[in-house]
Amino acid sequence: MTVYAVALIDIDDREGYGNYEQGFMEIFSKYEGTLLAVEEDPTVLEGEWPWTRTVLLSFPDEAKLRAWYDSDEYQALARHRFDASDASIAVIRGLG
């Protein structure tokens, strides 16, 4: 079943975050993920949106998502994101 990852990110250090961005697709592409959307200025229909970046990813199944996220290669790269931003990330399971 398709799963999605929604990342709500508040970037504090653009230069440091750029180090994360530079290596992201090379690693991400190895795990059958699809980058569906990256938005820094969404249209807010209700409430407030305090995040500087919103990212939507999809994977064929949760095992592939976890293989990517938990991989040593991604976790080493993610150190740049951890140092340059704060994030909330959720896994959303598709219907059917």
pLDDT single digits (tens) 10-36: 999 999 999 999 999 999 999 999 999
Domains and CATH numbers, the chain: 3-42+51-93 (3.30.70.100)
Angle at 66 between CA 75 and CA 61, to 5 degrees: 150
Helices (H) and strands (E) in the chain, counts: 3, 4
**Residue 69's pLDDT is what?**
98
Asked whether the beta carbons of 19 and 80 are under 8 A apart, the reply is yes
Whole-structure pTM value: 0.92
pLDDT at residue 96 tops 90: no
**Average pLDDT score, the chain:** 97
Asked whether the beta carbons of 14 and 95 are under 8 A apart, the reply is no
Which of 72, 45, 74, 49 is closest to 59 using CA atoms?
A: 74
